[in-house]
Amino acid sequence: MLKLGVNIDHVATLREARYRGRQDGEPDPASAARQCEAAGAHGITAHLREDRRHIQDRDVWRLREVVQTRLNLEMANTPEMVGIALRLKPDIICLVPERREELTTEGGLDVVAGETALKETSRRMADAGIEVSLFIAPEPAQVEAAARTGAGFIELHTGAFAEGFANPAHRAAELARLSRASEQAHGLGLQVNAGHGLNYENLAALLPVPHLVELNIGHTIISRAITTGLETAVRQMLTLMAPYPG
């Protein structure tokens, strides 16, 4: 069964638009997480960014209290974030690149260049009982380097697939690239997640990619929830994912 991790960052984005700098406000990411789990989500993802543009420190601690499935903390590989993760003890972390000027995470980690530092973080997390995923582009060198770090998971960046989805040739090329990367990772003993830009229109086309364990999806679910409600939006996504052959 293909699992769904719901990214709730943009619940906090909406709250911060009105209540930034305050210790209260709505909507509440923890309440949203409980609704997602009630609807069948297999995990909750939250990205604690260096600039705290959406999720705040208090949110991740509250999420650690309420999440009953699997808490995935997206984070940059910095001393501050490593320290927070070791205290928080999420079930898994996903290490991502981060730039202040970006609207959202724009690319995959350069694991080849950062292999030594990523090995050290993976070791520290393993010692604390926390699983590690690396958010990478579907490139052979990055997959190979990811396997050397000791991380148990990769998350394939599906942004190029999503952005070029309207072009059949581009879509086919990206689908092939993702499939090759997933096969390679599986052969190296890595578990494979995927995410970025996936939505209700393009998800079905991704299902031929083999060996996928979990999709991490956020913006499209939170957007649809405005008109359908959050639980309905989650259930509709799960329905689209149900045909995955496993």
* Dihedral angle computed from the Cα positions of residues 12, 13, 17 and 19, in that order, rounded to the nearest 10 degrees: 10
Closest CA to 151 of 180, 179, 176, 185: 185
Show Cβ contacts of residue 228 under 8 Å, excluding neighbours closer than 6 positions. Answer: 236
Catalytic residue among 37, 74, 98, 174: 74
186: annotated active-site residue: no
16: annotated active-site residue: no
Residue found by looking up tokens 């997959």 in the block: 143
**Strands (DSSP E) along the chain, which ranges?**
3-7, 43-47, 71-75, 92-95, 131-136, 153-157, 191-195, 212-217
Catalytic residue among 157, 174, 196, 214: 196
Catalytic residue among 10, 37, 42, 47: 47
74: annotated active-site residue: yes
Q: Which positions are annotated as active-site residues?
A: 47, 74, 196
